[in-house]
Chains A and B, each alone.
Chain A
């Protein structure tokens, strides 16, 4: 069974703080993703990575960066958190690059920026 683990389920951070959200998958998947989920907006892609040290921007990359130093780990970084980044963040992975791949999600990280 595929397991995608997000280290923090609930975080409260102050405006201007640097925030790290960590994600680990245990199935040797090539692709990893970070989505943001907001009511009425669905799931929006922030960044994805198809290989170690590779990254590509999604639909809403502004204010975020990512790091993929190891295949199993994909980190989302908020360099200077702002209140409009209060949201639920979902990490996901899929086996291969390209289409026809099932994406598996982590449990989500609820971030509140005050």
Chain B
């Protein structure tokens, strides 16, 4: 099955700086890559996703890039704010015929005011 690796596991940035989280996947047939944000004590919520026919997608201060050849995708958050502090999970929809998402192990982002 699909294997998703995520780095770093923890990330601290100063407010206003950018944050980048990187993920790699193993199954070249994977074609959907969402990112989830989980605030303390709350459910993971989808913040952005990208499909395999697109190289980059942006939504205000967040963007995701996908390199299918290298099998990696990244989340970029610009002008970080304290409310961006959370755990972020990347995921990949696994391969042909697969019916579920495979998640990375998460990145705990702390934005220091």
A interface residues (Cβ-Cβ under 8 A, vs B): 31, 33, 35, 40-45, 48, 50, 56, 58-59, 90, 97-108
Q: Please, how many angstroms separate the alpha-carbon atoms of A106 and B49 in the complex?
A: 19
Q: Contact between A45 and B34 (Cβ–Cβ < 8 Å)?
A: no
Q: Contact between B43 and A58 (Cβ–Cβ < 8 Å)?
A: no
Most buried by B among A59, A90, A103: A103
Of all chain B residues, the one with the shortest Cβ separation from A100 is B32
Q: Contact between B31 and A99 (Cβ–Cβ < 8 Å)?
A: yes
CB contact between B89 and one of A43, A45, A59 (< 8 Å): that residue = A43
Most buried by B among A50, A58, A100: A100
Q: Count residues of B near A (Cβ-Cβ below 8 Å).
A: 26
Q: Contact between A102 and B34 (Cβ–Cβ < 8 Å)?
A: yes
For this complex, 7 residue pairs linking A to B, each with C-beta atoms less than 8 Å apart, are A42-B106, A43-B44, A90-B43, A99-B32, A100-B32, A100-B51, A102-B49
What's the minimum C-beta distance from B74 to chain A, rounded to whole angstroms? 17
Within 8 A of A (CB), among B58-113: 89, 93, 98-106
What's the minimum C-beta distance from B95 to chain A, rounded to whole angstroms? 8
Q: Please, how many angstroms separate the alpha-carbon atoms of A8 and B69 in the complex?
A: 43
Q: Please, how many angstroms separate the alpha-carbon atoms of A19 and B45 in the complex?
A: 27
What's the minimum C-beta distance from B39 to chain A, rounded to whole angstroms? 12
Q: Contact between B9 and A33 (Cβ–Cβ < 8 Å)?
A: no
What's the minimum C-beta distance from B40 to chain A, rounded to whole angstroms? 12
